[in-house]
Chain A
Amino acid sequence: MKRKKRYPGSIVFALVFFISAFCLGNDIQKLLPSSSDVFPFKPQGKLLRFKEEGLYDFIDGGAEIYFEYGFTEALSQEYTDGKLTISITIYLMKDEEAAFGIYSANRKVGKKRIKIGGEGVVSDFMLLFWQERFYVVIETFNPGARAKKEMIRMARLVSRKIGRIGAPPSILARLPKGNLIPGSEVFVRGTLGINNQFFFSEKDPFRLKKMGGEGAFADYRFPDGDRFKLFLVRYSRKEDVFLALSRLEAIWRKQGFVKEQKNKIAFWRYRAGYYLVKKSGNFLSIVLGALNKENGLKIINLCP
C-alpha cells in the first residue's frame, strides 16, 4: 500500500521537473530573435546548444570560469542578410550574480558602455551585456557602422524578451566610489575569477567557493598617476576572514613581500608597490600595489 501511495507523488514530481526543464529550455530559445524580428536578417546554420559540461565543446578551457560562476546552458545562433553576419550567444547562468560576474570578467575598462539590460559594452566586433540570469554576447566578423547598429538592434530585441533587469551583486555597493574607474568593477566567486584579476597564488588563499564567500575587484586612479586595484572579500563567517588572512600572509612572505607596519591596517611592501590589508567583521579589504601609500590608505579607509 505504501508503495502505491509513493508512486503518484514521484510521478508528479518527475513530470513537474521535466516539464519545467523543457519549458526553461524552450524559453531560452525564445529569447533569440525570429526572422521577422531581425528582417532582412535570417538565421543561418543550425542552432548550437550547450548544456552544463557541454560548454567545453564550445569554448573548451574557457568554460571553467563559467562553471566557477555557475553555468546552466548556452545557445548560439548566427544571422545573416547575405552581406553581414552576426551571431548571438546567450548564456543562462545559475543566478543574476553569476550573470553579472561573467559579464564583468569579460568586459574591459574603457570600452563604450551602453544602456542595454543591466549594462552592456560595445566595440567594432562585439557587444556584451548582462540582464537577469543571462549573459549575452553578440559578435560580427564584418565590423563597421552598420554592423554596430545591427548588433545594438539585436541586443535590444533579446533584452526586451528577457524583460526583467535583475540586480548586480550587493557587494559592489560596498566598494568606495571616489577615484573608482567606472566599469572596472568585477565580481568573483572563486580562484579563476580572482587570478584573472590579480594573481595571488595557485594555492588560493581565499577559498571563496569552499567557504561560501564572494569578492569584488575595482580599479582606482589618482591625479598623481597612481593606479591600483582594490579587492574586497565578504565571508559568511568572521572566522573565515582570519583564516584567509593568515593564508595570504604566509603566501606573501614566501613571495618576498615585507610587512612594514601592522596596526588596524597592515602595510606590506613588494617591489615598488604598497599592499594594504584591513579586516573588519566579515570583510577583508586589500589594496594591491599602490605606488603612493596615502592613496591606498584613502581607499582602504572607506572600505567596510
Chain B
Amino acid sequence: MERTRREFLLSLSALGMGAVLPSSLLEPFFSSPSPGIKPLVVVKGSSPYDITKKAIEAIGGIKRFVSRNDIVVIKPNMSWDRLPEQAANTNPMVVKAVVELCYQAGAKKVKVFDNSINNARRCYVRSGIAEAAREAGADVHFVDRRKFRRMKVGGQALSEWFIYTEAVEADKLINIPIAKDHSLTRLTMGMKNFIGFCGGRRSRLHQRIHQVIADLANFFKPTLVVLDATRILTANGPQGGDLSYVKRLDMVIVGEDQVAVDAYGATLFGISPGDIGYIRIARDMGLGVMDLNKVPIKRLTV
C-alpha cells in the first residue's frame, strides 16, 4: 500500500492513541513549503564536540527542537569504510554532541543509523560513529532490509520509493551530514544525505538526481540540520580516501532551513549555491532560501 509520509505518521498516531492527531500538532516536523527566513549559525573551533554544542545553543538550544519523550532519528553520513580523518563520513564527535543534547532535552530514544554503501559493520566501526553515539546513549543499529516500505514521496522525479520506516516514524529528524565533494552531484551535504534512507536500486535515483534530492528533502523536512565541516572532502568524493583531498575547516553550520545550510556549505568549496542543481531546484520548490544575503548568519568562534 502506498502512503505519504504524513498519512503514515497520522495513521501511526491513530493506532497509538486511538485518535488522529490534528495535523497542526505535526507542523513543526512537517512545516509548510514557505518557511520564511530562518537564521544560520556558523561556529568555528578546534573541538568538533564543543562547536556543535555551541552552535545548537546559539540557534536557541536543543529544547526548541526536541521535546520530552520524543523519538529522535539522527542521520549522519556513515556510508563509507573510512576513518574520521578521511572525511568521508560525519565526524563522530559532532554526532555524539547532538545525541547528548537530545537526551538532555528529554528525548525518550535517539536512534542513529544509515543505509551504508560499504559493509555496514565496517562503516559503523571505522567511522567511529557507532562507538561515539553509543557512549552518548544512542540506539545505534544496522538497517534492516525488511523495514523499507514503498511510500508515496510525491515528488516530481520520485513519486514513490522504498523508504526506511524508522526514518518516518520518528518524532524529530536531525540531519547531520558532512560537506564533501561528489563526482555525480558536485557536492553532497544535507539534502543529499537523505538518499541514505532509501532502499531499492539506488542507481535508479541517479537518473534525475538533482530533482530526486530535492524531492527527498521535501519529503523528509528535517527538524534541524547540523552540517559537519570540521573536515571537508574536496576531491574524489563521495568515497575519498586520501588525506590530501581533505581540508580542515573546524566548522559546523546549523540551521532549520536545509536549503540555506547547503547553500552555505557550497560556498566552503568556492562554489556558487546556484551552480548546484538540487539547491536551485529546492529553492524553486519553496523549500528554503538559497540567497545567503537574505539569511541572518551568526558566526561564533569557540
Whether chain B is bound by chain A comes out as: yes
Binding site for B on A (CB under 8 A): 53, 56-65, 105-106, 108, 110-111, 123-126, 137, 139, 141, 192, 195-196, 199, 202
> Closest 6 A-B residue pairs measured CB to CB?
A61-B184, A60-B117, A65-B183, A56-B203, A64-B184, A126-B242
In the complex, given contacts A62-B238, A65-B183, what are 13 additional A-B residue pairs having Cβ atoms less than 8 angstroms apart? A59-B117, A61-B185, A62-B183, A62-B237, A64-B184, A65-B184, A105-B183, A111-B242, A125-B86, A137-B241, A196-B186, A199-B271, A199-B275
Q: Are A195 and B186 in contact (CB under 8 A)?
A: yes
Q: Are B239 and A59 in contact (CB under 8 A)?
A: yes
User: Secondary structure at chain A's binding surface: helix, strand, loop or mixed?
Assistant: helix
User: Once the chains are docked, how many angstroms separate the CA of A170 from the CA of B206?
Assistant: 31
The contact of A60 among B126, B202, B242, B244, by CB within 8 Å, is B202
Q: Can you spell out 22 A-B residue pairs with CB atoms less than 8 angstroms apart?
A: A59-B238, A59-B239, A60-B202, A61-B183, A61-B206, A61-B209, A62-B237, A62-B239, A63-B203, A105-B183, A108-B235, A108-B245, A111-B244, A123-B243, A125-B86, A126-B241, A126-B242, A139-B241, A141-B83, A196-B186, A199-B186, A199-B271
Q: Are B277 and A125 in contact (CB under 8 A)?
A: no
B38 located at the interface, meaning its Cβ lies under 8 Å from any Cβ of chain A in the complex: no
CB distance from A147 to the nearest CB of B (A): 13
Q: Are A123 and B244 in contact (CB under 8 A)?
A: yes
Nearest residue (CB) in B for A121 is B242
Chain A CB within 10 A, most for which of B86, B117, B209: B117
Q: Are B244 and A110 in contact (CB under 8 A)?
A: yes
Nearest residue (CB) in A for B80 is A59
B201 located at the interface, meaning its Cβ lies under 8 Å from any Cβ of chain A in the complex: yes
Contact with A along B171-209 (1 / 0, CB 8 A): 000000000001111101000000100000111001001
Q: Are A58 and B118 in contact (CB under 8 A)?
A: yes
B79 located at the interface, meaning its Cβ lies under 8 Å from any Cβ of chain A in the complex: yes
A58-B118, A62-B184, A62-B237 known; A53-B243 Cβ under 8 A:
no
Q: Are A60 and B238 in contact (CB under 8 A)?
A: yes
User: Once the chains are docked, how many angstroms separate the CA of A67 from the CA of B28?
Assistant: 42
- A195 partner residues in chain B, CB cutoff 8 A: 186
B13 located at the interface, meaning its Cβ lies under 8 Å from any Cβ of chain A in the complex: no
A61-B206, A125-B86 known; A196-B183 Cβ under 8 A:
yes
User: Once the chains are docked, how many angstroms separate the CA of A123 from the CA of B245?
Assistant: 11
A192-B183, A195-B186 known; A61-B238 Cβ under 8 A:
yes
B11 located at the interface, meaning its Cβ lies under 8 Å from any Cβ of chain A in the complex: no
B4 located at the interface, meaning its Cβ lies under 8 Å from any Cβ of chain A in the complex: no
Q: Are B244 and A108 in contact (CB under 8 A)?
A: yes
User: Once the chains are docked, how many angstroms separate the CA of A105 from the CA of B241?
Assistant: 14
A58-B117, A141-B126, A199-B275 known; A123-B183 Cβ under 8 A:
no
B67 located at the interface, meaning its Cβ lies under 8 Å from any Cβ of chain A in the complex: no
Nearest residue (CB) in B for A122 is B242
A125-B86, A125-B243 known; A60-B79 Cβ under 8 A:
yes
User: Once the chains are docked, how many angstroms separate the CA of A124 from the CA of B184?
Assistant: 26
- B79 partner residues in chain A, CB cutoff 8 A: 60
User: Once the chains are docked, how many angstroms separate the CA of A42 from the CA of B202?
Assistant: 34
Q: Which of B220-264 contact A (CB under 8 A)?
A: 235-239, 241-245
CB distance from A256 to the nearest CB of B (A): 11
Nearest residue (CB) in A for B280 is A202
The contact of B206 among A64, A106, A124, A196, by CB within 8 Å, is A64
User: Once the chains are docked, how many angstroms separate the CA of A201 from the CA of B273?
Assistant: 13
Q: Are B183 and A64 in contact (CB under 8 A)?
A: yes
- B242 partner residues in chain A, CB cutoff 8 A: 108, 111, 123, 125-126
CB distance from B117 to the nearest CB of A (A): 4
Q: Are B245 and A56 in contact (CB under 8 A)?
A: no
Nearest residue (CB) in B for A76 is B118
Nearest residue (CB) in B for A128 is B242
Nearest residue (CB) in B for A65 is B183
User: Once the chains are docked, how many angstroms separate the CA of A53 from the CA of B203?
Assistant: 8
CB distance from B75 to the nearest CB of A (A): 16
User: Once the chains are docked, how many angstroms separate the CA of A202 from the CA of B272?
Assistant: 14
CB distance from A41 to the nearest CB of B (A): 18
- A141 partner residues in chain B, CB cutoff 8 A: 83, 126
User: Once the chains are docked, how many angstroms separate the CA of A65 from the CA of B241?
Assistant: 17
User: Once the chains are docked, how many angstroms separate the CA of A209 from the CA of B202?
Assistant: 23
CB distance from A63 to the nearest CB of B (A): 8
User: Once the chains are docked, how many angstroms separate the CA of A65 from the CA of B242?
Assistant: 18
- B239 partner residues in chain A, CB cutoff 8 A: 59, 62
Chain A CB within 10 A, most for which of B203, B210, B277: B203
- A58 partner residues in chain B, CB cutoff 8 A: 117-118
Q: Are B241 and A125 in contact (CB under 8 A)?
A: yes
- B209 partner residues in chain A, CB cutoff 8 A: 61
- A139 partner residues in chain B, CB cutoff 8 A: 241
Q: Are A56 and B201 in contact (CB under 8 A)?
A: yes
Nearest residue (CB) in A for B242 is A126
- A60 partner residues in chain B, CB cutoff 8 A: 79, 117, 195, 202, 238
User: Once the chains are docked, how many angstroms separate the CA of A80 from the CA of B271?
Assistant: 41
User: Once the chains are docked, how many angstroms separate the CA of A51 from the CA of B118?
Assistant: 16
Q: Are B241 and A61 in contact (CB under 8 A)?
A: no
- A59 partner residues in chain B, CB cutoff 8 A: 117, 238-239
The contact of A202 among B117, B183, B201, B277, by CB within 8 Å, is B277
CB distance from A284 to the nearest CB of B (A): 22
User: Once the chains are docked, how many angstroms separate the CA of A124 from the CA of B182?
Assistant: 22
CB distance from B158 to the nearest CB of A (A): 15
User: Once the chains are docked, how many angstroms separate the CA of A32 from the CA of B242?
Assistant: 22
- A105 partner residues in chain B, CB cutoff 8 A: 183
User: Once the chains are docked, how many angstroms separate the CA of A215 from the CA of B199?
Assistant: 36
CB distance from B91 to the nearest CB of A (A): 17
